[in-house]
Amino acid sequence: MTAKSDCVKIVGEESVLADKKILASFARDDGGSQGSPPACVVKPRSAEEVREIVLMANARGYALVPVSSGEPHSRGDTVPATEGAVIVDLSGMKRVLRMDRRNKVAMVEPGVTFGELRDAAAQEGLRVLTPLLPRPSKSVLGSALEREPMLIPKYHWDMTDPLMCVEVVFGTGDVFRTGSAAGPGTLEEQWAVGCAQKNPMGPGQTDFLRLVQGSQGSMGIVTWGTVKLELLPGVEKAFLVTADEFGALQDFAYTILKFKLPDLCLILNGAALGAITEKGGGDMPPWTLAYSISGYTYMPRERVEYLEKDVADIASAAGVKPARTAGDVDAGELARMMGAPCPPPHWKTRARGACREVFFLTTLDRVPAFLAAVDGEMSAHGFDARDLGVYVQPIRQGTGCHLEMDFFYDPGSEEDTRKARALHEGVSRACIEMGGFFSRPYGGWADLAYGRAPDAVAALARIKDILDPRGVMNPGRLCFGKEG
Amino acid sequence: MITDAAYRELQETLGAENVSREPAVLDGYTWQPFTDILGLPDSWCRYRPAAVVLPGSTEEVQEVVRICGRHGLQFKAMSTGWGAWNAMGGENTVQIDLKRMNRILEIDEKNMYAVVEPCAVCSQLQAEAMKKGLNCHIIGAGCGSSPLASATSLCGYGWSGLTTSYSARNVLGVEWVLPDGEVLRIGTPGQDAGWFNGDGPGPSLRGAMRGFMGACGGLGVFTRCAVKLFPWPGPEEPQVEGLLNDVTAEVPDTHAMFLIAFPDLQRWADAAYSVADAEIGYMMCKNAIGALVATMMPRGLKELTRFAVFKDILKTLRYQFQFLVCARTPREFAYQKAVLREIVEECEGICLDVSKLPGLHDAFWWGFVRAAMPPLIFRMGGTFGTSYGALEGFDHPAYQSQEGARLKSQYTETGRLMDDLADNSWGGIYEGSTGFGHQEELYVYDPRDSAQLEAAEDYLAGTLVDTAAKKLGPGLGFAGGAIVAEIFGPLIGDYHEWLRKIKGAFDPDNVSDPAFYVSPDPEKLIAEEMANRPGMAQSLLSVMGEEDTP
């Protein structure tokens, strides 16, 4: 028996792919990760099929690599680290199982993309909490499980947001529902008494969601999840604040974030803003803080009016000037663009054809120090500073931020590619030395991050041993070995 | 009993002045409120600690834990300690009292978090945070409680949750002494990267540390923790004189308290959803009308409830919230009040602007901002208990509040529990637009009255049966001790078996007292429970007989 024939027994011939070209495409990704071609790609349609696949993997010793988003992949977590793995492609599980306007929550399967959920939510007057310009094939659950930062920090209360509850098939093959979805009762029985699977904690004294989130598929496979939605604004007004130095935006950003005044709130350097808007990086202001203010169902115009005045006062005190445009960039147009998936080519590849990204968590006040270090690294590697896109996303209501440096390069140039790779490594090392927190340690970052946290490695190994004792779930990721 | 050798080691580690096995001292730790959840009516816990120790640092905590492990002792940590959750689960258990570790180590004003030790209390943290325009979450236990304890080890509903969330969701970096004495720093402190983040790298160990409920001392000791802070659009040093109801304060012009009542449950819940959608308010919480009267004039409530007409009048205010606006600017203040009026009109409510009642306003404002009122709840009966309280979309807590009142009325109407008008649910909505919430049903009784004690236990057992039968969230039932995991586990995806594996992985020798977490020996636990709590036994068996979740 082979992995392919085992999978065919579970899902049928038509849902197992073993074409060599397809298999080869999973052995590498656009981020430069190289691995082994899988034995096959299996496309389950239900949680029950997923469970059977996990049980089969335990019985036969196959490695499983869950994938929910479509191509292109770039962070290495979908590339098998071991030979003979089975790709569990969840992109066909596309149902929006429930849309609850009153509780502002949607229950979705892993294959549902941002564009699909956005359309479904809009019909109910709701909006999806998105990361910055996800690619069209990006899975909503995949993004939330990876703790991708979202554009509206005021709705980001805790790191699990916007994910609330999930159904997960652990590496053992056990099916488990997290948070309030766990029970008592079936989902239908819970709905009948007003539940909406909206409490992400527990059940009981363990936060099972947190053990699955951020695990790069190494603990189990999520078969549905509930995500928090928010109201579509009735009135929305967007602004741009520009500055020559990042530091000049800090006080303003801290104050508006503290009081949860803006919806959208992020900071981009000129190259990133130029790539996103396709207006040409050269003429862009060095730094731009983009934000929007909104009114919802109650007195929306009045809300925007008072917010506009209050924010203007804060801006004045901070010595910055909000404007509706900056050069060719229109704030409203930018805000509308950011609420949707990114049309191809992805903005990170628009400037030079490819991009190496370095991102981690820090606080806004530390960003200038990291930028200075990156400047030094770029000089040392002879990298043109104009090809550096910087994206700063305040998270968790301003108590931290995601700092992302995108190094644009020409993949057709060997020298460019070599420089970008070396720079990526140098910047990663420099930033982690400076206290950058690589909370999502893809690829080589895992060694850097876990090398500094041996206690966490030991604790995570105990959790892994409980949820995936045979090590079938995406072996070789994070701090977990390739052997089960 | 603790051996002389073990005791000597503890003394040598901590200094003789920080270790005691004097019976009188030990008894001070053996008396706790809320022991009714253990079936102990008189507040005396079943087990006296073998010794009490007061470590002053993380290193000393580590040493204590290791000494316990070497000598076959269990340990149970407590900080501000209020309730049966601090009680020893068995003989030969050392109480680790963390009261010497009481510092606020850092307040990061810009990034809005504080790093605290276990016995820094909320009033202390709030006072310092307010100086920087910030506020902290304070749980229903009040401002004397430890923010670290609720963040790491217990639960965490509070009046201001609309703005300040729930304790477990406010946790950032954590320092955790594991049951084997090793230190695990979760999140950024684990990489010497500050305290601003508690999740990662990779899967978050916050998930092992706690869930909706904490392990209540069953999985080691938490020695430092960073918690999120929130905006405080009020005075840096509030000018307040007096205590409890007898308070005068300078309330800012942009702050106001409202008492809002609605004609029925549906419109009351609708209003909660509308407030979440509108993103207004600093606090939205129901303190039931019976509870309010009871806290202000307990004898008055006893007199009033003798007359059906007065009860009916009070019950017209059953579906109500206290709503606090704390605006940053006059513009925001005007907007929030206008939207509130619109919501009240839409839901056919009535709104009393308490700011027009100066004496009452001062007491309400400070009482809720400082969470200073919890002591008053003891005035009516001497003690109280709580039930239900699941966190969910607000229709579910609304349903639970109805269930609680329905069940309890059988007791209050017959005088078996204090008459708090039966409807005495407490709680509100949390996290602004998120709008999930909770309602826990309080019950008030006189612990000196054996009939009321019996009724209290009977009522609590009834709520567990009701929870299972109607498929409700167990909520605060999760705080009912390790037995709850065995009762509800089979109804909740066998979560108790996963808990047991985590306990086994992190504490294979069961050194950390599991009484409020999960038992490594469930058969023994159930047998003990049946023997110790015969009154509850039949109810527990009934719940355990429920069918498994499909």
Mean pLDDT of B379-401: 94
The answer to whether A354 and A410 have CB atoms below 8 angstroms apart is yes
Can you name the CATH fold of A3-89?
Answer: 3.30.43
Q: Is A2 on the interface with B (CB under 8 A)?
A: no
pLDDT at residue B248 tops 80 = yes
On chain B, the residues whose CB falls within 8 A of the CB of A102 are 273, 393, 395
pLDDT of residue B293: 86
A166-219 tens-digit pLDDT: 999 999 999 999 999 999 999 999 999 999 999 999 999 999 999 999 999 999
Which whole-number Å values give the CA distances from B528 to A131, A370, B339, B468, in the listed order? 52, 58, 55, 22
On chain A, the residues whose CB falls within 8 A of the CB of B546 are 184
Q: Is the Cα torsion angle A301, A306, A309, A311 positive or negative in sign?
A: negative
- Cβ neighbours of residue B214 closer than 8 Å, sequence gap 6 or more: A205, B150, B152, B153, B154, B155, B168
Strand partners, B184: B176
- Cβ neighbours of residue B526 closer than 8 Å, sequence gap 6 or more: B483, B486
Gap between the Cα atoms of B87 and B499, Å rounded: 21
**Which CATH number describes the domain made up of B249-475?**
3.40.462.10
Q: Is A210 on the interface with B (CB under 8 A)?
A: yes
The answer to whether B233 and B327 have CB atoms below 8 angstroms apart is yes
Q: Is A435 on the interface with B (CB under 8 A)?
A: yes
On chain A, the residues whose CB falls within 8 A of the CB of B328 are 259, 310
Nearest to B111 among A100, A230, A363 (CB): A363
pLDDT of residue B380: 84
On chain B, the residues whose CB falls within 8 A of the CB of A215 are 202-203
> Quick check: A195 and B393 CB within 8 A?
yes
Q: What percent of chain B has pLDDT over 70?
A: 99
The answer to whether B9 and B65 have CB atoms below 8 angstroms apart is no
- Tell me which chain B residue has its CA closest to the CA of residue A254: B110
Nearest to B200 among A177, A206, A439 (CB): A439
Nearest to B113 among A192, A399, A478 (CB): A399
**Residues of A (131-150) whose Cβ lies below 8 Å from B:** 147
Q: Is A127 on the interface with B (CB under 8 A)?
A: no
Gap between the Cα atoms of A310 and A234, Å rounded: 19
Coil, helix or strand at residue A152: coil
pLDDT of residue A83: 95
> Any idea which residue has 């309330």 for tokens?
B251
Most A CBs within 10 A among B396, B487, B517, B546, hence the mutation to make, goes to B396
Can you name the CATH fold of B4-97?
Answer: 3.30.43
Taking the CA of residue A480 and the nearest CA in chain B, the distance in Å comes to: 11
The answer to whether B380 and B422 have CB atoms below 8 angstroms apart is no
> Quick check: B492 and A184 CB within 8 A?
yes
Which whole-number Å values give the CA distances from A305 to A325, A421, B433, in the listed order? 19, 48, 20
Ramachandran area for residue A379 (φ above 0: left; ψ -120 to 50: alpha; else beta): alpha
pLDDT of residue B549: 37
On chain B, the residues whose CB falls within 8 A of the CB of A400 are 111, 196-197
Domains B104-231 and B249-475 share a fold: no
> Quick check: B432 and A154 CB within 8 A?
yes
pLDDT at residue B548 tops 60 = no
> What distance, in Å, lies between the first and last C-alpha atoms of chain A?
20
pLDDT of residue B546: 47
**Which tops the pLDDT comparison, A139 or B294?**
A139
Nearest to B212 among A158, A160, A204 (CB): A204
Residue A34 is given by DSSP the state: B
**Which CATH number describes the domain made up of A96-231?**
3.30.465.10
pLDDT of residue B303: 87
Nearest to B201 among A212, A449, A463 (CB): A449
Q: Is A316 on the interface with B (CB under 8 A)?
A: no
Most A CBs within 10 A among B157, B183, B191, hence the mutation to make, goes to B191
CA angle A331, A335, A341 (to 5 degrees): 140
Taking the CA of residue B61 and the nearest CA in chain A, the distance in Å comes to: 17
Mean pLDDT of A274-281: 84
Q: What percent of chain A has pLDDT over 70?
A: 99
Phi, psi of A26 (to 5 degrees): -85, -10
Most A CBs within 10 A among B270, B279, B342, B465, hence the mutation to make, goes to B279
**Which CATH number describes the domain made up of A347-433?**
3.30.70
> Quick check: A299 and B550 CB within 8 A?
no
On chain B, the residues whose CB falls within 8 A of the CB of A124 are none
- The reply to whether ipTM tops 0.95 is yes
What integer best gives the mean pLDDT of chain A?
96
pLDDT of residue A251: 98
> Quick check: A159 and B201 CB within 8 A?
no
Ramachandran area for residue B117 (φ above 0: left; ψ -120 to 50: alpha; else beta): beta
> Quick check: B331 and A310 CB within 8 A?
yes
In chain B, where the domains are located: 4-97, 104-231, 249-475, 482-544
Phi, psi of B409 (to 5 degrees): -60, -30
Can you name the CATH fold of B104-231?
Answer: 3.30.465
- Cβ neighbours of residue B528 closer than 8 Å, sequence gap 6 or more: none
pLDDT of residue A280: 65
Segment among A92-106, B103-117, B367-381 with least mean pLDDT: B367-381
Can you name the CATH fold of A235-338?
Answer: Alpha-Beta Plaits (3.30.70)
Residue B195: both structure tokens together: 């305290």
pLDDT at residue A360 tops 80 = yes
The answer to whether A58 and A174 have CB atoms below 8 angstroms apart is no
Q: Is the Cα torsion angle B2, B8, B9, B14 positive or negative in sign?
A: positive
pLDDT at residue B131 tops 80 = yes
**Residues of A (164-193) whose Cβ lies below 8 Å from B:** 176-177, 179-180, 182-186, 189-190, 192-193
pLDDT of residue A484: 54
Gap between the Cα atoms of A352 and B529, Å rounded: 69
Q: CB pairs below 8 Å between A and B: how many?
A: 340
The answer to whether B121 and B79 have CB atoms below 8 angstroms apart is no
The answer to whether A457 and B191 have CB atoms below 8 angstroms apart is no
Gap between the Cα atoms of B335 and A305, Å rounded: 10
A278-319 tens-digit pLDDT: 986 568 999 999 999 999 999 999 999 999 999 999 999 999
What integer best gives the mean pLDDT of chain B?
94
pLDDT at residue B183 tops 50 = yes
> Quick check: A440 and B194 CB within 8 A?
no
Amino acid at A408: F
Q: Is A84 exposed, middle or buried (0-12, 13-18, 19+ CB in 10 A)?
A: middle
pLDDT at residue B506 tops 80 = yes
Mean pLDDT of B146-150: 97
Taking the CA of residue A352 and the nearest CA in chain B, the distance in Å comes to: 31
